[in-house]
Amino acid sequence: LLAAAPPTSADCLGCHEDQDLKDPRGRSVYVDPARQRTSVHDGLDCVSCHEGLSEYPHPDPVPAASCASCHDEPGAQHAQSVHAPRKGRPDSPGCVSCHGHGHAILGASDPQSPVAKKNLPGTCATCHADPEFLARHQIPFARPVEAYERSVHGRANAAGNGAAAARSDRPLRAG
């Protein structure tokens, strides 16, 4: 008995390149082929990340991509960090919170990447510039992103000094 081949990326894009395509909950499931081609994941088949898909068309829901299935070391570091999901912290960030959507992730060395060192203050500000977030997580700084940006390290980073210290240079260990 021969097993059916999993769907190819071309099969997936046959539907998912439709900008109006929505899942049953009404969320867009559009994949921009041009952004995918510039992503660090270009060249991977969709089923490399969306494991378990064996039928085309696929049943809903599609298995969520698991970054840790390939990126096990960063996944383990995240699980031990202050950013790891914890009970009572529904807004803990996942991979896409900082790196962007899996179909458009750029390498950290790409100047357009949200995790390029020069862009990190803005990426971190997505959460850390929100006073309600700071209070909810008992972060003892009123404006941590602005404090970094005004520091000697933040000014050097903004000037393009890749050796400038940043909080992301060392692991963010939990408690």
pLDDT at residue number 170 = 65
Mean pLDDT over each residue of the chain, to the nearest integer: 88
Nearest to 42 by CA among 99, 110, 107: 107
pLDDT in tens, 117-134: 999 999 999 999 999 999
Model pTM?
A: 0.82
pLDDT at residue number 168 = 75
pLDDT in tens, 62-113: 878 889 889 999 889 888 888 888 877 788 898 999 999 889 999 999 999 9
User: Do 80 and 174 meet the contact criterion of CB atoms below 8 Å apart?
Assistant: yes
